[in-house]
Amino acid sequence: MNPIVTRVAGLIDAYRPADGPPPSQLVPFTRWALEGAERAIGLALVITVLTGISEMVAAWFTGVVIDAAATHGPGAFWGPYSVVIVGGLLFFLVVRPLILLADAGVTSILLGPHLFPLVLSRLNRHVLGHSMRYFENDFAGRISQKAMQTARALTDVVVEITDVVIFGLAMFISALFLMAGVDARLLLVFVVWSVIYALTLRWFIPRIRERAAARAGARTVVTGQVVDTLTNIATVKLFGHHDHEDRATLDALEKFRIRSLEFGSMTAMFRLVLTTNGGLLPLSAILGSLYLYTIGEATPGDIAMTAMIAVRLSQITNRLGMAAVSIFTNIGEVEDGVGTLTADHEITDRPRATAETQGRGAIRFDDVRFAYGGPVAALDGFDLDVAAGEKVALVGASGAGKSTVTALLLRLYDVEAGRVLLDGTDIRDLTQTALRQQIAMVRQETAMFNRSALDNIRYGRPDATDEEVFDAARRASAHEFILTLRDHRGRTGYAAYLGERGVKLSGGQRQRIALARAILKDAPVLVLDEATSALDSEVEAEIQAALEQVMEGKTVIAIAHRLSTIARMDRIVVLDRGKIAEEGTHADLLAREGLYARYWERQSGGFLNITEAAE
């Protein structure tokens, strides 16, 4: 890359983290999003002002040449015009091109390529820090679209202001000085016209902004509907509800169409008024300068200069008006995004939270209560001690609180009362990263990235070698089927992409890759939430053998409806309505002939009918 381009581009660190969370008000949010880019934006403003002034200098030069011609008349070319010629050569061939080059550079090299990643990276970091509840209450596609929309819109606002608004203002102010030098009455024409123009903007802009915000909101509804349908496309096809989803999308699109028509009709009217106003300026200015010439108070050069300035300003004001529409449209989209993206994090690290932790994984739930913010507690007065290296299974009917236990352990939610400790430390005194690095988890609903099989497994430990990844896959009985993979671009084996959410894999294949990922992570605590539920009996037997090796020396919390998979755990804890109903070994609980024994009796072929057991 050209050294000059590199130096200019270096004025903005496109990935500099923001200071603190984003404010929820537009102006403070803008400062937060653009912090660190002030020098670059200031430089762009200065260069844009110089560009606007250069346009007026060009008009002034035209007037000077015409007046010089009128004074000297026909004759020698160089002698009487040498100063004008040299000045024109320097200005038009050296100074003005350099200014225009700098103006193009700050837009296309400095602002455009850097502001978007600066804003988006900051928004993305904030969004990643939201709790699970935030993502459960919205669509992933809608959130990502909001972040992209906000970053793009704010970038466009800055570029439009520096490239058009400041340019137009610089030209207009320069024009006022030039007109004042000709005659105060010409200056009055420009001032009166500017007042009319300002009143036009004042009337139209709030109405355009309101309609732009309504259109942005309607577009968001369309996005949410489409994302919801495509995310659940398998359900749509299984129930044959293509027409139902199509109607829902059409309803959302119709509302968007109406909002777009309202926005479009207002902008069309605005353009008509701008065009009329734009024609008023050159007509008034040229006729005014002509009148001054007829009474001997203006020169032919003054008429030419006034005409050039008025026509140029008329052109730029039309552009300025449309830029104002674009700016306030984008401001509406920024405000729409800010309302969604800047919510405070529900779960945050304490100021002095420990970033590193050591221990073997002893876990304690101390009088924990949690109700997901509702009136019915998922866990109530929950106490559980798990010694380091102990293997504990959680059993209970659906809704008994099993998954809530693991969610609180991972601090996907914060307890509403009580505390959770890891190796004697309240998990709220650990950073979320430090906590989760100590825990490997395999869930029933396994998540895959649309990346290669190698990258999906390596996600457990990004610095792992290829051979360590292969070994983890073998231990999870995933190596053989991975070698047979082939994606639509012809990539095979570990290089093959798995599709969005691992859609190209069977449930059992996804779980085996998830197990390999957890094996590779090698954390002291292992959480298994129905980790083998999607496996057939033969593969499950292989996985169980692998898991027994993986669990050696680790603290394990396992959730399973299939009781045969947990019978050999050190301790089985039976949950009922958020409390511990029974605990002990498999043999102890069967001898007690309580709730666990009834679950055991009701299972068929090794599977537990939890619904029946709960009745």
* CB 365 within 8 Å of CB 384: yes
Q: Packing angle between helix 466-475 and helix 537-550, nearest 10 degrees?
A: 120
Residue 610 has pLDDT above 70, yes or no: no
Q: Which residue has the higher pLDDT, 535 or 193?
A: 193
Q: List, for residues 186-229, the tens digit of each pLDDT value.
A: 888 888 888 888 898 889 888 887 888 788 788 878 888 887 88
Q: Is the pLDDT score of 493 beyond 50?
A: yes
pLDDT of residue 605: 42
CB burial of 409-444 (b: ≥16 within 10 Å; e: otherwise) equals bbbbbebbebebbbbebebbbbbbebbbbbbbbbbb
| pLDDT for residue 358 | 78
Mean pLDDT of the chain: 85
What angle (nearest 5°) sits at the alpha carbon of residue 581, between those of residues 586 and 590? 25
Q: Does residue 503 sit in helix, strand or coil?
A: coil
Query: Among the ranges 5-9, 181-185, 321-325, 419-423, which has the highest mean pLDDT value?
Result: 419-423
- What is the arithmetic mean of pLDDT over 535-558? 75
Question: Which range among 381-390, 411-420, 470-479, 534-543 shows the weakest confidence by mean pLDDT?
Answer: 534-543
Per-residue pLDDT, 613: 38
596 pLDDT higher than 80: yes
Q: Please, which residues have CB within 8 angstroms of residue 68's CB and are 6 or more apart in sequence? A: 80, 81, 84, 301
Secondary structure (DSSP) of 324-345: HHHHHHHHHHHHHHHHHH-PPP
* Confidence label for 309 from pLDDT (cuts 50, 70 and 90): confident
**pTM, entire model:** 0.74
Write down all domains in the chain, each with its CATH number in brackets.
20-341 (1.20.1560.10), 356-438+526-531+556-615 (3.40.50.300)
Q: Quick one: pLDDT at residue 267?
A: 85
Q: Look up residue 382 and give its amino acid.
A: F
* pLDDT for residue 477 is more than 60: yes
Q: Looking at 50-59, 236-245, 517-526, 531-540, which range is the least confident one?
A: 531-540
pLDDT at 235 over 60: yes
pLDDT at 355: 85
The dihedrals phi and psi of 537, each to the nearest 5 degrees, come to -60, -40
pLDDT band at 611 (very low <50, low <70, confident <90, very high): very low
Q: What is the pLDDT of residues 407-424, one digit of tens each?
A: 999 998 999 999 999 999
- CA 47 to chain CA centroid, Å, is 31
Q: Which residue has the higher pLDDT, 2 or 261?
A: 261
The Cα 256–Cα 247 span in angstroms is 14
What is the tens place of the pLDDT at every residue in 266-279? 988 988 888 888 78
